[in-house]
Structure 1
Amino acid sequence: MNNATNRTIDPSCRDKPPLAIDIIVNLDIFGIILYSILTFMATVSVLVYIEECIYIYRKVPSNKKSVIIWVNGAAPVIATMSCLGMWIPRATMFTDMTSACYFAIVVFKFLVLMLEEIGGDEAFLKRAGKHKLKISTGPCCCCCLCLPYVHITRRTLFLLKLGSFQFALLKIVFTILSIVLWTNGTFDLADVSVITGAAIWINPFVGILTIIALWPVAIMFMHLRVALRTIKIVPKYAMYQLVLILSQLQTAIINILALNGTIPCAPPFSAAARGYMLSQQLLILEMFIITLVTRLLYRRQYDPLPVEKVDDNENTKMVAMPESA
C-alpha cells in the first residue's frame, strides 16, 4: 500500500526548492505577468521609501529623522526581501531572517518614536509626573486586570525600553546562531518533529521574546494615544501591527499548512517551497499597499505638540495618580 502511494508522488515534491534559473525557464505567460507585477510593486515600494527618506531628511527635526526612517522602512524592506525570496527560493530562509531582524529593530524604534513625538524622555517624564501606567494590556497581560498601576519614573521608562530592546538584540543573535547551525546541518525550519532539533527550541523562544517586546510598546501606546492623536498615532500603530501580523502570523500559518500537506506540491515546488512562495507573493502585495499608506501618514509638518492642560475632568491622556500618592 505504501509502495503504491510512493509511486504516485512526483519526485520533485521531495526535492529542495528549485534554482532561480529553473523558475525562469518554467514560467508560463501567467507566471511572467505575475512575477513582473510583483517585482514592479517591490521596486516601487523601495523608490517610494527613498523619496520619503529624502523628505524626512529635509523636513523633519534631527532628533526624529533616524527613528522615522527606521519605522518607515519596515514594509519596503520586507517587500524587497520577499521579492528576492520569490525569485531565489533557496534563499527564503535568509530573506525571512533578514526581514525578521529588521522588524525586531522596528519594534524598539516605534517605542522610541512615540517618546520622541511627545518631546523625548525628559518631556515624557515631565508630562507623566501625575500619572500611572496601566500594565494590564496585550499581548502579555490583557486578561490580568488585577495588576497594579505603576508609577512613571526613570526606572520604569528604562525597563520599558529594555523590554523592547532585548528583542532587537537577541533576535539578531539567534538569527546568527541559526545560520551557523544550518551550515552544520542541525537547523532545519521544516523539521519540527524531532525534539532534539534546533528549530523546535529556537523558534518558540524567539516567539516568547517577541511577545515580551510587544508588551512595552502596547503599554506606551495605550497611555499616549490621546496625547498623540494630532499626529495620527492610532493609524500609525495600526500599520505597525499590520506589518507584524502579516509578516509573522500570516507567514507562520501558511508554512504550517504547507508542512501539513494542506497546500499541495506543484512541480518544481515541493509543498513546503510552494507555501513559502505563496507567502512571499502575498507579502509583496501587502507591503506595497502598506508602504503607500505609511507615506501618507508620515508625510506631514512636524510641529511641536501643544502643552498639556491640567484638567482633572478631561478624558485623561494617562491614568491619574491618587492625590495621596
Structure 2
Amino acid sequence: MLSKMWRQRFNINELRNCSSDFPFTRELFEDLSKLGIAVIGCMCFVTLVICLIFLEELCFLIRHDPDWRNVRRKLWLLGLYPVFGFCCIVAVIVPRSSQLNDLISAVYLSICLVQFMRLMILYFGGEVKMLVTLSSVDIPLQSPPIACCLCCLPRKSMTRSRLNWIKGLVWQVALLRPVFTFTSAVLWSNGQYNPHLLTIDSPYTYIVSINGISTLLAMYGLIMVFRMAKLHLTRVNITHKFACLQLMLVFSNLQPVIISFIGSSGLIKCQGSISTEAKTEMLSHLLLLAEVFLLSIYARWHYRRKHEWTDSDTDESLR
C-alpha cells in the first residue's frame, strides 16, 4: 500500500521512462515553454548586468586606487561574479557543457581563496608587518569548518613558520583543484565522470571527496587568519569582503547537492527531451545566477572605496 502511494506521489514509472541524456540547445528550446524561454532571456540580461558592474568597478579602481597590487587582487575577487554568471548562463543554454562550466568556475573560486589571503597580507603592509601586528594574538586553532569543536587544542602565537603553514593550507587548493579539474574533464569526455552517480566504483565519488577536503582545509586556514586580522582591518571592510567569498563558496558547493537530492527524489519531472538530471542542473544554475547577481551588488558596495589605505612599504614577495 505504501509502495503504491509512493509511486503515485512521485510518479516513479514516468521518471524511469525519462532519458538520462542532456539535450542539445535546439532540443532544449523546442521543449521549453514560453515562460521558460522568458526566464532564460531575463537571466541573459542579468548576466550582462553582472559583467557591466565588473567593468564599472574596473574603471573605478584604476582611477582611484594608486596601488596596482591592491587593484589586481581586488579584480581577481570581483571577477568571481562575472565568471560564475557567464558559466551559469552557458550551462543553461548549452546543457551538455554544464560539467565543463562547473569545473571552470570551481578552479576560479579556488584561486580567489588564495587571492583573498594575499589581499589580507597586503592590507597589513606585507608579511613582516603582519607578523609584528599579530605577534600578541593567539592563532584560533578552534576554527570552523574543521576544528570548531576541538577545545583541547593548544594556544599558539603567530610566527613566520606558522604563517607559512597556514598559507600552505590555503594555497594547496589552488594547486590541487586544477589537477583534479583536468582529470575530471578527461574522465567526463570519456563518459566516466557522472555527478549523478555516487557509487564506490565511480571516479566522481573520489574526486569530489578529495576536492571537498581540500576546500575545507583552505577555508580553515583562511578563517584562522581572518579571525586574527578582522579587528585590525576594520577600516577596509574586511568582514563584509570575507562574507562575499564565504557566501559564494556555500552557494556554489552546498546548494547544487541539495537541489540534486531533490531531483533524485522524484520531485523534479522530466519534460520532453529535457531529462530530470538536465532539468535539475538548469534549476541549480538559474538559482545560482540570481544569487551571484545579488552578491555582485553586495561586493560592489564594499569593494568600491576611494580611500582604502595600504602600506606602501610592503614585502617584495607581494609584488
User: 1:247 Cα shift?
Assistant: 0.9
Select which of 152, 158, 161 maps to 1:155: 161
Shift in CA distance, 18/247, structure 1 to aligned 2, threshold 3 Å: same
Higher helix share: 2
Give the number of aligned pairs: 303
Instruction: Specify the alignment match of 1:247 in structure 2.
Output: 252
Query: Which shifted more, 28-37 or 65-74?
Result: 28-37
Distance in 2 separating the partners of 1:145 and 1:127 = 25
Give the corresponding residue for 2:302. Answer: 297
Distance (Å, rounded) in 2 between the aligned partners of 1:139 and 1:41: 32
**Cα distance in structure 1, aligned partners of 2:33 and 2:119:** 46
* Cα deviation, residue 305, structure 1: 6.2
Does the 8 Å contact 1:17/1:89 carry over to 2? yes
Question: How big is the shift at 1:242?
Answer: 0.8
Task: Determine the structure 2 residue equivalent to 1:273.
Answer: 278
Structure 2 unmatched ranges of 5 or more: 312-319
Q: Which runs of structure 2 are paired with 1:1-325 in the superposition (5 Å)?
A: 8-9=13-14, 13-60=18-65, 61-193=67-199, 195-304=200-309
Letter in 1 for 2:174: A
Write the distance in 2 (CA, Å) between the matches of 1:86 and 1:304: 41
How far the C-alpha of 1:166 sits from its partner, in A, is: 0.5
Equivalent residue, structure 1, for 2:314: none
Q: Deviations over 1:100-156 (max 9, x none)?
A: 111011111111111112222122012123332121110110111221122211111
Alpha-carbon distance between aligned partners in 2 of 1:37 and 1:16, rounded to the nearest angstrom: 26
Alignment partner of 2:221: what SS? helix
Consecutive unaligned residues in structure 1, runs of 5 or more:
307-325
| Structure 1 residues 12 and 47, CA gap change in structure 2 (3 angstroms) | farther
Taking only the aligned residue pairs, the percentage that are identical comes to 29
State how far apart, in whole Å, the 2-side matches of 1:10 and 1:159 are: 50
Alpha-carbon distance in 2 for matches of 1:158, 1:300: 30
- Whether the 8 Å CA contact 1:12–1:270 is kept in 2: the answer is no
**Secondary structure of the structure 1 residue equivalent to 2:18:** helix
CA distance in 2, matches of 1:259, 1:168: 32
CA separation in 2, counterparts of 1:229 and 1:291? 21
Amino acid at match of 2:306: Q
Structure 1 distance, partners of 2:12, 2:213, is 42
3-state SS of 1:278 partner: helix
Aligned residue identity for 2:157:
H
Name the TM-score, length of structure 2 as normaliser: 0.89
CA contact (8 A) 1:12 1:268 kept: no
